[in-house]
Structure 1
Amino acid sequence: MPLANTKPQPRQTKIVATLGPASNTADKIKALAQSGANVFRMNFSHGSHEDHAKVHAAIREVEAQLGLSIAILADLQGPKLRLGQIAGGAQPVDVGDVVWFCPRDGVTDTIPLPHAEVFETIAVGQLILVDDGRIRLKVVEVGDQVFAAEVLNKATLRDRKGVNFPDTPLNVQAITGKDYKDLMCALELGVDWIAMSFVQRADDVARLRALVGTQAKIIAKIEKPVAVTNIDTILQETDAIMVARGDLGVECDWFELPAIQASLVAKARAQGKPVVVATQMLESMIVAPLPTRAETSDVSNAVVQKADAVMLSAESAAGEYPVEAVKAMAAIASATETAGRSDKSTLETPFIDAPDDSGSIASAAGVLAELRDACCIATYTETGATALRVSKTRSDVPIVAVCPSQNVARPLSLVWGVTPVINTNTQEFTASRDGRIPPKLAPDTLIQPNRPVVVTSGSTHGQAGGTDSLKIAYLSD
């Protein structure tokens, strides 16, 4: 009979918390981290570079105080399209009205849309969505640097509202001038992840990669239908994806969004790339201390799909209950994971994927850990790649990633089931490979006396990509 767990298992689904006016002070950041936030998102659509530098410093201060590895995600604004300055600030419209758009402000009887690239490719019959899809129009006529659209629902067009063109292939720059400046700021600060907005194809990610190099990992935000179509090639180029359901939910049919999310999560997992589910997960907690039942189910669904992370946006950035929102998300994830483990009446073999030696070791580690009822899998990883491979199996056994530095450990804070710890002692490393786990490398809730630990490592210490060994070890005295 397998030994019963003597300590509660740590949460495997990670939490990304967006920082903003409600949460960007050191004390709030500390409270969020203690409540369960693993990654902090800095939204470069708002705030100055000086503001972001202060927030970055506060996160690192909290990280040092708590002795954790905390990842920082810099989210670039991307080529967001917005209306220009409307005469009078607003224009009421009714069903059947025809509205003319032009690329310049101040033209009589037109709505300004200061994005010339739209007028190059717009076509009759295509849909236009304004203000997160609240206003819908259809193009009925196209002229020289103008086009007309019929209003499909009664509403009011207002200054600077966002505009989406779900049917129109737009020739937009993937990295705007603002994005470039923000990227240089983020890299100088030393963030761990860069999120790229409005990705359409793998080439967009490749352009960002050319600028980022190895200084940070890249998350491709999937928020356009064309990105869903191109997801296989995007996944090959990016380090991770985010199912950004805000703009994605505007541009695709609303009833298709749950199926699209499930497909994106499955495809990312199949390629061993982390996947974050984001937007409106606990939206009501912007103003309420508890989530709705539907929101609870939404977060739980992402956990059941075994997404690597779930994300809070305005809930933690600008809401009245940022700490409570993180606690609620952590509680939902933990309860869902616990129920999933207790529902298993028989051993389930983890996902097997063994394209090479390192992949074989990772897959075997998950199987062996399940068979032996191990308290954890300890992976010695120079780059984080081994921990990613083991996480891909989605074994229920927790993963301790022993890393040589924070540069390796921090990005793993986003990865499902992984608890990163740092160790640079070669002697301790060798002892672990020989079957003994040094107590200092044993997170309190993971490695337990008298319970086996499945250890993956390489024959040569310090060699990246050389994972070739699998052992069973125990906590040393």
Structure 2
Amino acid sequence: MEKAHIPCQFPGIFEKVNKGDLVLFDDGKIEGIIQSVKKNSFEVLITRAAEKGVKLKAEKGMNFPNTNLGISGLTPKDKEDLAFVAKHADIINFSFVNSKKDVQELLSELKKLEAYEKLGIILKIETKFAFDNLEEILLEAMQVKKVGVMIARGDLAVETGWQEIGQVQHELLSICGAAHIPVIWATQVLENLWQKTDYRPDQKLQMWSLL
């Protein structure tokens, strides 16, 4: 039987991954282990999928939770967009922050744009590396007055494991609470709760205030 082939758009991915690395497709619906790595490809042995099979549709994500891909929080396009953001926005949502170096880079760019004290920053915690480096990330970001954290539960669950997400989010909330940093609990959690339960509007407001 012919082996399936799929593209990966991340540049330099074949230099980052190694044999034995875990690979997750489509938010963890399919799981595999890298068996071999070549110059322009790597081979994956699928170790978990739905019992009756699952189709991997186009433009679905790939996660490498145990692999340091060296992704910087700011892309060249982000740096271009920051000039517009600094003039017209109040808050920046900073995705794929993985280390204090990423925060330093953002703050450096904001200083160049004379927006260091103007803009609030929301740090989106969505990778295992961001969770592991949370304390140093927060300490670096707290140089500015207005800083918050977004817990991206879906992405974090894929990265850290669904069986661990309860403990992971509890630790995140505890650390941010100790640092007096406001937290956004993301990935449609509140919407899902509302759809399953007969909440009144005043009850929903109370729930928001607790998070």
- TM normalised by structure 2 equals 0.82
Q: Secondary structure at the match of 2:56?
A: strand
Q: 218, 222, 237: which one pairs with 2:121?
A: 218
Partner AA of 1:126 in structure 2: D
Q: Name the counterpart of 1:275.
A: 183
Q: Name the counterpart of 2:58.
A: 159
* Rounded Cα–Cα distance in structure 2 between residues aligned with 1:123 and 1:98: 23
The yes-or-no answer on 1:249 pairing with 2:147 is no
* Rounded Cα–Cα distance in structure 2 between residues aligned with 1:263 and 1:333: 24
Q: 191, 194, 210: which one pairs with 2:92?
A: 194
Q: Name the counterpart of 1:203.
A: 101
Q: Is the 8 A contact 1:98 1:148 kept in 2?
A: no
Map 1:46-65 to 2 at 5 A: none
* Rounded Cα–Cα distance in structure 1 between residues aligned with 2:208 and 2:134: 28
The yes-or-no answer on 1:169 pairing with 2:68 is yes
5+ residue gaps in structure 2? 111-115, 142-146
Q: Is the 8 A contact 2:72 2:96 kept in 1?
A: no
1:351-390 superposed Cα distances (whole Å, 9 cap, x missing partner): xxxxxxxxxxxxxxxxxxxxxxxxxxxxxxxxxxxxxxxx
Partner AA of 1:224 in structure 2: T
Q: Name the counterpart of 1:228.
A: 131
* Rounded Cα–Cα distance in structure 2 between residues aligned with 1:196 and 1:120: 26
Map 1:299-310 to 2 at 5 A: none
Moved over 6 A (4+): none
Q: Is the 8 A contact 1:98 1:150 kept in 2?
A: no
* Rounded Cα–Cα distance in structure 2 between residues aligned with 1:136 and 1:180: 34
Q: 24, 27, 44: which one pairs with 1:132?
A: 27
Q: 1:144 to 1:182 in 2, by over 3 A?
A: same
How much has 1:182 moved relative to structure 2?
3.0
Q: Is the 8 A contact 1:117 1:171 kept in 2?
A: no
Q: 17, 20, 38: which one pairs with 1:143?
A: 38
* Rounded Cα–Cα distance in structure 2 between residues aligned with 1:193 and 1:272: 18
How much has 1:184 moved relative to structure 2?
2.4
How much has 1:208 moved relative to structure 2?
0.9
Map 1:74-85 to 2 at 5 A: none
Q: Name the counterpart of 1:240.
A: 148
How much has 1:282 moved relative to structure 2?
3.4
Q: Name the counterpart of 2:113.
A: none
How much has 1:171 moved relative to structure 2?
1.7
Q: 1:240 to 1:140 in 2, by over 3 A?
A: same
- TM normalised by structure 1 equals 0.38
* Rounded Cα–Cα distance in structure 2 between residues aligned with 1:270 and 1:195: 22
Larger radius of gyration: 1
Q: Secondary structure at the match of 1:158?
A: coil
Q: 1:335 to 1:225 in 2, by over 3 A?
A: closer
Q: Secondary structure at the match of 1:211?
A: helix
The yes-or-no answer on 1:179 pairing with 2:78 is yes
How much has 1:229 moved relative to structure 2?
0.7
1:263-288 superposed Cα distances (whole Å, 9 cap, x missing partner): 11111121222222111213448xxx
1:154-185 superposed Cα distances (whole Å, 9 cap, x missing partner): 32222221111111100223212332233322
5+ residue gaps in structure 1? 1-96, 100-108, 297-326, 341-415, 417-477
1:195-249 superposed Cα distances (whole Å, 9 cap, x missing partner): 1111111111111111122231212111111111111101101222111112111
Q: 1:335 to 1:205 in 2, by over 3 A?
A: closer
* Rounded Cα–Cα distance in structure 2 between residues aligned with 1:183 and 1:173: 15
Map 1:280-429 to 2 at 5 A: 280-284=188-192, 290-293=194-197, 328=201, 331-334=203-206
How much has 1:137 moved relative to structure 2?
1.9
How much has 1:119 moved relative to structure 2?
1.1
1:24-49 superposed Cα distances (whole Å, 9 cap, x missing partner): xxxxxxxxxxxxxxxxxxxxxxxxxx
Q: 1:283 to 1:98 in 2, by over 3 A?
A: farther
* Rounded Cα–Cα distance in structure 2 between residues aligned with 1:335 and 1:174: 31
Q: Is the 8 A contact 1:98 1:151 kept in 2?
A: no
Q: Is the 8 A contact 1:246 1:280 kept in 2?
A: no
